[in-house]
Amino acid sequence: MEPLILYFVLFFPGIYALGNFDGISRGVELSQIIPFSIVRELGRTLTYTLPSLALLWYIMSDKKGFSALKNTKPGKQDFLSFAIGLPGLILTGIGISLIISFLSRYQNFPLPPIIEAPANALGWIMLVFSCLGTGYLEESYFRYYLLTKLEGQLPLVAMRIAFSTVLFSLCHIYEGPWGIVNAVLAGILLSTVFTRYKSLHGIAWAHGVYNIFVYIMGHYGS
């Protein structure tokens, strides 16, 4: 019960906030540009990402401060999982982009909105901070917390990965069908890497850097 309560508390407010900000929920036409806002990213990070991350780690520490953080110091396995996770995420994202491009060219399939990159150094600094924060929040819950918590209830690794991936995909529903497909593939990849190496930092880095990569590709692709 605790994992599901945390899921609704931590991630559904973020879904509504993202939906309101990115314009998708307000009927923005596909292929339009979603502008980048330093104020929006700063506000979301300070009022949602960091408090949610703190709450999650407080609960994982059995309400004894943040003692669980002592067991998650970066190690060699983190760099290995990062080296596996990031290329996997990038290849998955590029593959989906190529499919979308093909369908839009030959099947009149509408293109998704273009994500606008920051216009200055301050914006890029804020973007890096925001993306890494999101990476740590989502990987802390969906991989580090959830996959470990479910070991007693779901003895099969594949079942734990499937459950984690379903929840991970649902909180990306605002991105549309292709966003869900990308979340499913990314969730399976990151869950598999975490199960193999028990590495939080590596997959969080990979997740955050991939989010930055999406902004870069959206900027140069436009």
Determine, yes or no, domain membership for 47.
no
Euclidean distance between CA atoms 169 and 174, whole angstroms = 10
Q: Provide the domain count of the chain.
A: 1
How buried is 136 (Cβ within 10 angstroms: 0-12 exposed, 13-18 middle, 19+ buried)? buried
Determine, yes or no, domain membership for 147.
yes
Determine, yes or no, domain membership for 203.
yes
List the beta bridge partners of residue 34: 115
- Both tokens of 120, joined, read 């200055």
List the beta bridge partners of residue 114: 33
Whether 113 and 32 have beta carbons less than 8 Å apart is answered as yes
CA Rg value for the chain: 17
Determine, yes or no, domain membership for 45.
no
Measured on CA atoms in the order 184, 190, 196, 200, is the torsion positive or negative? negative
Determine, yes or no, domain membership for 135.
yes
pLDDT recorded at residue 72 = 81
Query: What would the DSSP string read from start to end of 35-99?
Result: ---HHHHHHHIIIIIHHHHHHHHHHHTTTSTTGGGGG----HHHHHHHHHHHHHHHHHHHHHHHH
Which of 33-42, 89-98, 179-188 has the least mean pLDDT?
33-42
Range of the domain at 97: 1-14+78-111+121-222
How buried is 41 (Cβ within 10 angstroms: 0-12 exposed, 13-18 middle, 19+ buried)? buried
pLDDT recorded at residue 218 = 67
Measured CA distances, 29 to 114, 168, 169 (Å): 11, 25, 23
Euclidean distance between CA atoms 55 and 41, whole angstroms = 20
Q: What pLDDT digit, counting tens, does each position of 7-60 carry?
A: 988 887 655 444 433 333 333 344 467 788 899 999 999 999 999 999 999 999
Q: What percent of the chain has pLDDT over 90?
A: 52
Determine, yes or no, domain membership for 66.
no
Determine, yes or no, domain membership for 48.
no
Q: What pLDDT digit, counting tens, does each position of 109-158 carry?
A: 666 667 788 989 999 999 999 999 999 999 999 999 999 999 888 889 99
